[in-house]
Amino acid sequence: MTLKPKLANLERRIGYQFEDPALLLQALTHRSFGATNNERLEFIGDGLVNAVVAMLLFSAHPSLDEGSLSRLRSKLVSKDGLAVIAKRFDLGSLLQLGTGERKSGGRHRDSILADAVEAIAGAILVETDFGRASAIVSQWFVEGVASLDTTSTRDAKTLLQEWLQGKGYALPQYTVVSVTGEDHNQQFEVSCHSDVGDLVTYGRASSRKKAEQAAAHDLLEILINE
């Protein structure tokens, strides 16, 4: 099959037919192929994809806070998340790659596939407008949004707080026990204390926030398994 019918099949899969096919071809062209490539389209496509996914999540999960929504979005717009969409569209077989990238397996590299997804989104935005491009690109993520496990997005501190509040207990208290190491390589030890059984757990990590999460995780494990 020649390239033209392959691009037409791709347009059916992405839900948009380009008035200028050269724009789609550019979106599929890696920088290793030549000076005219998809990097600029990827730049604006990245912004569109993030905005579209944010709106989908905002509408689908009205009870989730900002942190949870951000973590869900990260899953969908990450290199791995976008590569899933690229493989659904069979972009690998259509990528325009330089000889080196082609020989080293660039058609199957998630980072290159993810960039191509963003570039296609950017190309649609260039040829249409934000409203239409958003409507088209949002369809790419509907399935992914529906299949997300929202229970795993909440961090340990949030889950611990919800567990304690649900049982009518006071919130836990976090205290920095020690900070050791040089400024560029510090280790924080934090305690997490709960009135439930007067329990105390400890977490160690390279930042206070991570240490608090570790301590909260351990305390939650104890409480749940009592």
In 61-129, which residue ranges form alpha helices assigned H by DSSP? 66-77, 79-88, 99-103, 110-127
Active site amino acids: 46, 118
> What is the residue extent of each domain of the chain?
3-152, 156-225
Locus of tokens 């977490």: 203
**Annotated binding-site residue? 218:** no
How confident is the prediction along the chain (226 residues), in pLDDT tens digits per residue?
A: 578 889 999 999 999 999 999 999 999 999 999 999 999 999 999 999 999 999 999 999 887 778 778 878 988 998 889 999 999 999 999 999 999 999 999 999 999 999 999 999 999 999 999 999 999 999 999 999 998 877 665 678 888 888 898 888 999 999 999 999 887 788 999 999 999 888 999 999 888 988 998 999 899 888 887 6
Q: Counting beta carbons within 10 angstroms of the beta carbon of residue 17, is it exposed (0 to 12), middle (13 to 18) or buried (19 or more)?
A: exposed
Count CA within 13 A, CB hemisphere, residue 102.
10
Phi-psi bin for 109: left (phi > 0), alpha (psi -120 to 50), beta? beta
Q: DSSP label at 188?
A: E
**Annotated binding-site residue? 189:** no
- Domain 156-225 -> CATH class: alpha beta
Q: Which two tokens stand for residue 183?
A: 């400024």
* Predicted TM-score (pTM) of this structure: 0.69
Quick one: CATH architecture of 3-152?
Answer: Orthogonal Bundle (1.10)
**Annotated binding-site residue? 115:** yes
Q: Counting beta carbons within 10 angstroms of the beta carbon of residue 96, is it exposed (0 to 12), middle (13 to 18) or buried (19 or more)?
A: buried
CA–CA distance, 51 with 144 (Å, rounded to integer): 15
